[in-house]
Amino acid sequence: MIENNPLLDNVIKWADDNDNIRAVVVTGSLSRDDGSTDEYSDLDVEIIVHEFTDALLQGDWIHNIGEVWIKFPADEQSRFRLIWFAGGKKVDFQLQLVEDIQQRRELSDEHKRGYIVMLDKDDLYANLPPSPHIFPQPDPPTAHEVHEIINEFWFESIHVAQFIRRREFWVVKFRDWTMKSDLLQLMEWHTRLKLNNTVNTWLIGKRIHQWADADTYDAIQKIWAHWDAQDCWESLLTQIDLFHQLAQDVTQQLDYSYPKETYDEIIAYIRSLYDEDKQLK
């Protein structure tokens, strides 16, 4: 899909005419050649420059690439620009200095996943190896990191239960999203530990149907509630049961503590609120 990309062609033409820009490198899905791209795939581009000029950081140059619908950040100077161009085409730009590339002795994690040099005026990448197209795995989480996620999840679970009782569904959704963010992190750890770091869990739940185990994937399809008390309760109860089990598995695998009795009490309290709510109908 990298061939015949008009936005990339415009980037290269603009960069070739700008003496401050010394190289253009494509990363992300379009560089991996693993069959994962489609018509909605972003174009990820690294722009290698001599210096971060005000004109470059302000980002007015993006209008040379195509018709801009929206950009982020909106106004302030930045070393990255995330742009939606007309037609729903997204390009993520990262600005880097020549000296950082010259000092590099091995591939970054991003480049290990894939990279394609589209323009290199000074042979900056001549001594770097080709990408092995692997996904470097993060280190196992520390006890502090795991306990922070677990603590926040159970803290918010009580909030959610009480706000369901109050019929404050917007607050329920707001608090619940924190719980789901914690659940996702726990799911990623659980999968990597279970499969000995041989799987890529991507970001923000991408391709979760591919990497989550069958039981977990079945459960997470039941944790998205409608705007009513009964559905919110059922989703919450499914979510806390799933998290409780995954948390025990993860902490056992890592030999970290998990005060199961305390969380059992929280679950019992939440279920008591649910039972009282059912009796009010």
Q: Tell me, which fold does domain 143-279 have in CATH?
A: Four Helix Bundle (Hemerythrin (Met), subunit A) (1.20.120)
Nearest to 271 by CA among 249, 226, 238: 238
- Report yes or no on whether pTM surpasses 0.95: no
Query: What residues in the chain have per-residue pLDDT under 50?
Result: none
**CA 181/CA 153 separation, integer angstroms:** 9
> What's the alpha-carbon Rg for the chain, to the nearest Å?
24
Q: What was the pLDDT predicted at 50? A: 96
Q: Count CB atoms within 10 A of the CB of residue 87.
A: 10
Question: What values do phi and psi take at 20, rounded to 5?
Answer: -70, -25
Write out pLDDT tens, residues 99-123: 999 988 889 989 998 999 999 999 9
Q: What is the pLDDT of residue 134?
A: 87
CATH class of 6-120: alpha beta
Phi/psi region, residue 250 (left: phi>0; alpha: psi -120 to 50; beta: rest), is: alpha
Structural domain boundaries of the chain?
6-120, 143-279
pLDDT tens profile 1-49: 566 688 999 999 999 999 999 999 999 988 987 777 888 889 999 999 9
- Contacting residues for 82 by C-beta, under 8 A, at least 6 apart: 71, 72, 90, 91, 92, 93
| Angstrom distance (rounded) from CA 231 to CA 7 | 45
